[in-house]
């Protein structure tokens, strides 16, 4: 019997369908697309806050307590509540800071934070004034107070005498740049762009003796203010000039010299470059120390290993 034509076509079609299905079964599967990574959000995004400069930002004290510390050579001076030394600047005036820019980076201001409190022995007046940046700087007897970046721990006094214009803040007396015994009368240009005060000229200069239980006899002027010698000087020659004279005003006079009881050395004069006559003892020029505020103070003793009080016969070392 003859097979119908459409039956042959169907058979052939079925064959090709079977072949196609077999090939499809053997073909590799299409790769699965990797899932998109989801990054968890841990907080709101924002621009990081700029950090304050460590070198220019004023130091804000954790407490506004100002205390007193003592040093065998420097005497009583001011510290903050953590014992860090406080300084005054010889170019400042009462209620006015002349330390800005890089100066302030090296000598950060003590900034008031609430009520000011004076610790035991701090007999002066604490106040504050507003700096150009709006912060309030603490002042003692009107003089602005600062730290020194070279001080690393309580008790450090690395800034003492820097450039002849920076001094530990004394607890009592006038600011160190204006010593009681030798206040500024006139000024002549000095080193570091500062003005060097000329010591007052007395008609008669007296050199007397004072006594200390530990150090023994030493030289003072007629008012009892301690006198010093500079070991870098030589007989008849002063090597203290410019900023040095800010810290160590010379004993000058225009008239007679009077030696008190026990002063056995020879008093004389040298003529300084500005024409003033500085008093000498056994040829060595005599000076005051700017931080000595009253008779009996001897805070300059041993400063820098070159400044010493003078006994009737030799430097006290």
Render pLDDT for 71-93 as a digit per residue (tens, 0 to 9): 888 888 999 999 999 999 888 88
Mean predicted confidence (pLDDT) in 259-272: 90
- For residues 187 and 198, is the Cβ–Cβ distance under 8 A? yes
- For residues 87 and 74, is the Cβ–Cβ distance under 8 A? no
Highest-confidence segment of 34-38, 108-112, 178-182: 108-112
Q: Quote the CA–CA distance of 115 and 63 in Å, as a whole number.
A: 9
* Burial of residue 170, with CB atoms counted within 10 A of its CB: 0-12 exposed, 13-18 middle, 19 or more buried: buried
- Cα separations (Å) of 124 from 68, 118, 172, 258? 11, 8, 7, 36
Query: Is 314 part of a structural domain of the chain?
Result: no
pLDDT of residue 23: 53
Residue 230 shares a structural domain with residue 146 = no
Domain encompassing residue 99:
59-168
Q: Quote the CA–CA distance of 131 and 138 in Å, as a whole number.
A: 10
Residue 178 has pLDDT above 50, yes or no: no
Q: Domain total for the chain?
A: 2
Q: Quote the CA–CA distance of 316 and 303 in Å, as a whole number.
A: 12
Query: Is 217 part of a structural domain of the chain?
Result: yes
Query: Is 11 part of a structural domain of the chain?
Result: no
Residue 291 shares a structural domain with residue 192 = yes
**Closest-CA residue to 303 (of 121, 142, 176, 124):** 176
Residue 200 shares a structural domain with residue 163 = no
Residue 198 shares a structural domain with residue 288 = yes
Mean model confidence pLDDT for the chain = 77
Residue 100 shares a structural domain with residue 196 = no
Query: Is 263 part of a structural domain of the chain?
Result: yes
Query: Is 42 part of a structural domain of the chain?
Result: no
**Closest-CA residue to 78 (of 152, 164, 138, 149):** 138
Residue 264 shares a structural domain with residue 202 = yes
Query: Is 289 part of a structural domain of the chain?
Result: yes
Residue 145 shares a structural domain with residue 199 = no
Query: Is 274 part of a structural domain of the chain?
Result: yes
**CB neighbourhood size of 137 (10 A):** 21
Query: Is 41 part of a structural domain of the chain?
Result: no
């Amino acid at each position: 019997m003859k097979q119908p034509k459409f039956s042959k076509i169907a058979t052939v079609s079925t064959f090709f369908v079977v072949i196609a299905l077999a090939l499809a079964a053997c073909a590799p599967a299409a790769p699965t697309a990797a899932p998109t990574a989801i990054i968890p959000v841990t907080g709101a995004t924002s621009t990081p806050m700029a950090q304050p400069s460590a070198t220019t930002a004023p130091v804000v004290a954790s407490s506004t307590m100002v205390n007193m510390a003592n040093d065998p050579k420097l005497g009583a001076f001011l510290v903050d509540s953590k014992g860090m030394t406080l300084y005054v600047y010889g170019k400042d005036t009462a209620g006015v800071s002349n330390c800005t820019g890089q100066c302030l980076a090296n000598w950060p201001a003590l900034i008031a934070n609430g009520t000011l409190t004076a610790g035991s022995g701090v007999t002066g007046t604490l106040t504050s004034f507003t700096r150009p940046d709006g912060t309030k700087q603490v002042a003692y007897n009107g003089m602005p107070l600062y730290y020194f970046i070279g001080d690393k721990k309580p008790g450090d006094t690395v800034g003492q005498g820097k450039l002849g214009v920076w001094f530990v803040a004394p607890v009592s007396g006038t600011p160190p740049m204006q010593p009681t015994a030798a206040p500024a009368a006139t000024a002549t240009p000095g080193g570091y762009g500062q003005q060097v005060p000329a010591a007052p000229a007395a008609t008669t200069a007296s050199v007397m003796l004072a006594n200390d239980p530990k150090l023994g006899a030493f030289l003072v002027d007629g008012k009892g203010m301690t006198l010093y010698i500079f070991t870098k000087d030589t007989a008849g020659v002063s090597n203290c000039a410019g900023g040095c004279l800010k810290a160590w005003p010379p004993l000058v006079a225009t008239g007679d010299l009077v030696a008190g009881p026990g002063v056995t050395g020879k008093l004389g004069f040298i003529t300084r470059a500005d024409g003033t006559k500085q008093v000498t003892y056994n040829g060595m020029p005599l000076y005051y120390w700017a931080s000595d505020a009253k008779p009996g103070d001897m805070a300059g003793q041993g400063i820098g290993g070159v400044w010493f009080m003078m006994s009737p016969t030799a430097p006290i070392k």
